[in-house]
């Protein structure tokens, strides 16, 4: 998702770890379990690249009159080398997680082909479940078997020690960028907010531990919600924080985690899910792109999150991204608890325009939008004359750890959540949002190109990211949609 702020933040969202070596379970599952590329496919790719050059060079040497005699044994050996390298090249394509739909069409997806998801090449015109709901008696009652030496553990996130364990697992093993320079740093308080909304179930905080040491090495979660898909309301869960310890990526834990969370959710009578990933799996319902707006360009350049443009000095760059000291829209202020009913109506009406949206009740509105320092910020515009709430801006806090830097230890990123403009023009509203984020100490403001966001991204000096975030539905088929028709944000 995730998905689910890197040298481009989208780099972090699209990074992945494939299975080491040839496991029985498919590499594409571990691709969404967080982490960076391992050496197996990188070595194959490097070998293939070198092989192309060696092969071409060998042919040229044999036919160019370079003074070397033609040796049939040498030619045979060279052909064998080329054959091996070609196979390595093909192997690397299979092992590497797909980043585009074109790449995905050439993959077999052994795990996902067993799941109720559409095929990559499927043309869809209906809007309905893939499999019918199961009777309680049809659902497996006991947990799925784990590899020897591992055991299930349902996490208690109200226990500070267990919450810290989850924080550490994600901090050290979750999504990072391809160059291993930045890694998401979900704070413990943020994790509680993300994983304990109204209706949350402890049984859906699903951990895996090493039997001998008790160490937490795997995790997957679900939270309940109602989604509106092409004007059809459906009770679903959001799947998030699938993570397997880096050293155990070849143990095939990720497929078991997915099956187990599915089983636990099914037991409560829910059979659909939504999730996001930076890699392409069968079959995205939409594909969105991250954009990034520098708030502290000097720091971002120093940590190599971004780079000085051609013919630009540091001072000119700082000047380019400088914002006013205070918001300029009259009535722009932090959301108060008493604003929630009006904001609920405002957001509900706005989301009716889109094809994939959440349906929030009052308790969920309070949970997701009432400001909490270091977690979620929400601002409204209240008309000074009428007192009416006309607009809103919200963003959540997700820092990234900076690896291997002497001075800076983290990048503080704001992620655009839900924004509504009915009276204040988008550029004015979101510029005030940027100013508020800058004043709260954020270094960068990230936004996807969904909903109406394209109206303000370029004019407000956002830069396009280098990867996509795919949206997926589990056990539901529907026509795919353009980013501007998506009205859902997953953390």
pLDDT in tens, 369-385: 999 999 999 999 999 99
* Ramachandran assignment for 116, one of left (phi > 0), alpha (psi -120 to 50 degrees), beta (any other): beta
Which of 34-38, 92-96, 99-103, 165-169 shows the lowest mean pLDDT across its residues?
Answer: 34-38
8 A C-beta contact, residue 17 and residue 33: yes
Query: Residue 51's pLDDT is what?
Result: 34
% pLDDT > 70, the chain:
80
Q: What is the pLDDT of residue 10?
A: 39
Average pLDDT for the chain: 86
Residue 49 banded pLDDT, cuts 50, 70, 90: very low
What pLDDT, on a 0 to 100 scale, did the predictor assign at position 46? 30
Q: In terms of pLDDT, which residue wins out, 396 or 23?
A: 396
Residue 188 contacts residue 170 (beta carbons within 8 Å):
no
Instruction: Tell me how far apart the alpha carbons of residues 28 and 64 are, in angstroms, rounded to a whole number.
Output: 45
> What's the pLDDT at 181?
87
pLDDT digits (tens, 9 = 90+) for 149-189: 999 999 999 999 999 999 999 999 997 766 778 889 999 99
Average pLDDT of span 311-339: 98
**Architecture in CATH for domain 287-468:** 3-Layer(aba) Sandwich (3.40)
- Per-residue confidence band for 33, with pLDDT thresholds at 50, 70 and 90: low
- Pull the structure tokens for residue 442: 């954020």
User: With 70 as the cut, is the pLDDT of residue 234 above it?
Assistant: yes
Mean pLDDT to the nearest integer, 235-264:
97
pLDDT higher than threshold 70 for residue 289: yes
Q: Quick one: angle between helices 362-369 and 340-351, nearest 10?
A: 100
Say what the pLDDT of residue 404 is: 86
Does position 109 have pLDDT exceeding 60, yes or no? yes
Residue 123's contacts (CB-CB under 8 Å, 6 or more residues apart) are none
Confidence class of residue 79 from pLDDT cuts 50, 70 and 90?
low
Residue 125 has pLDDT above 60, yes or no: yes
Placement of tokens 């391809």 in the chain = 178
Give tens-digit pLDDT for 467-477: 899 999 999 99
At residue 449's C-alpha, the angle toward residues 443 and 450, to 5°, is 120
- How far apart CA 152 and CA 100 sit, in angstroms, is 34
- pLDDT (0 to 100) of residue 97: 87
For the segment 450-462, the average pLDDT, to the nearest whole number, is 99
For residues 170 and 173, give the distance between their C-alpha atoms in angstroms, rounded to a whole number: 5
Residue 414: pLDDT band by 50, 70, 90 thresholds? very high
pLDDT at 58 over 60: no
Which residue from 490, 437, 350 is spatially nearest to 342, judged by alpha carbons? 350
Percent of the chain having pLDDT more than 90?
Answer: 75
Please state, in angstroms and rounded to a whole number, the distance separating the CA atoms of residues 232 and 226.
10
Residue 347 is predicted with a pLDDT of: 99
> Considering only 25-29, 34-38, 361-365, 400-404, which range has the smallest mean pLDDT?
34-38
pLDDT of residue 147: 96
48, pLDDT greater than 50: no
Candidate from 176-180, 190-194, 279-283, 299-303 with smallest mean pLDDT: 176-180
In this predicted structure, which of 9-13, 113-117, 345-349, 450-454 has the lowest mean pLDDT? 9-13
Question: Which residues face 477 on adjacent strands?
Answer: 128
The whole-number pLDDT of residue 313 equals: 97
91 has a pLDDT exceeding 70: no
389 or 55: which leads in pLDDT? 389
Q: Which phi and psi angles does 487 have, rounded to 5°?
A: -125, 35
CB of 195 closer than 8 Å to CB of 31 = no
């Amino acid at each position: 998702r995730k998905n689910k702020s890197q040298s481009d933040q989208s780099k972090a969202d699209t990074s992945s770890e494939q299975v080491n070596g040839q496991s029985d379970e498919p590499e594409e599952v571990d691709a969404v379990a967080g982490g960076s590329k391992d050496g197996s496919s990188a070595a194959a790719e490097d070998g293939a690249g070198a092989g192309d050059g060696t092969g071409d060079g060998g042919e040229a040497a044999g036919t160019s009159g370079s003074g070397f005699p033609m040796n049939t044994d040498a030619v045979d050996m060279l052909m064998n080398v080329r054959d091996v390298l070609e196979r390595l090249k093909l192997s690397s394509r299979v092992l590497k997680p797909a980043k585009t739909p074109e790449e995905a069409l050439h993959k077999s997806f052994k795990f996902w082909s067993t799941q109720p998801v559409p095929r990559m090449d499927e043309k869809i015109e209906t809007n309905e479940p893939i499999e019918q709901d199961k009777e309680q008696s049809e659902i497996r009652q006991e947990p799925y078997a784990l590899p020897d030496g591992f055991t299930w553990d349902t996490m208690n996130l109200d226990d500070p020690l267990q919450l810290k364990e989850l924080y550490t697992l994600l901090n050290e093993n979750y999504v990072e960028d391809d160059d291993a320079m930045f890694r998401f740093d979900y704070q413990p308080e943020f994790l509680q907010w993300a994983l304990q909304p109204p209706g949350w179930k402890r049984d859906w905080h699903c951990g895996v531990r090493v039997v001998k040491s008790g160490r937490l090495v795997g995790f997957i979660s679900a939270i309940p919600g109602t989604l509106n898909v092409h004007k059809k309301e459906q009770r679903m869960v959001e799947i998030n924080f699938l993570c397997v310890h880096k050293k155990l990526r070849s143990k095939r834990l990720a497929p078991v985690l997915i099956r187990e969370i599915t089983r636990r959710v099914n037991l409560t009578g829910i059979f659909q899910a939504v999730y996001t990933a930076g890699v392409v799996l069968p079959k995205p319902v939409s594909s969105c792109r991250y954009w990034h707006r520098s708030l502290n360009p000097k720091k971002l350049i120093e940590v190599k999150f971004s780079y000085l443009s051609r013919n630009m000095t540091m001072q000119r760059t700082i000047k380019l991204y400088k914002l006013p000291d205070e918001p300029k829209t009259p009535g722009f202020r932090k959301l108060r608890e008493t604003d929630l009913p009006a904001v609920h109506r405002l957001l509900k009406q706005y989301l009716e325009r889109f094809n994939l949206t959440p349906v929030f009740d009052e308790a969920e509105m309070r949970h997701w939008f009432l400001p909490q320092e270091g977690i979620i910020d929400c601002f409204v515009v209240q008309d000074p004359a009428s007192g009416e709430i006309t607009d809103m801006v919200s963003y959540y806090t997700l820092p990234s750890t900076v690896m291997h830097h002497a001075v800076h230890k983290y990048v503080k990123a704001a992620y655009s959540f839900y924004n509504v403009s009915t009276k204040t023009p988008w550029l004015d509203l979101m510029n005030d949002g940027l100013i508020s984020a800058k004043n709260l100490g954020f270094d960068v403001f990230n936004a996807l190109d969904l909903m109406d966001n394209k109206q303000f991204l370029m004019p407000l000096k956002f830069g396009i990211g280098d990867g996509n975030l795919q949206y997926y539905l589990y056990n539901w088929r529907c026509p795919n949609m353009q980013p501007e028709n998506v009205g859902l944000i997953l953390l």
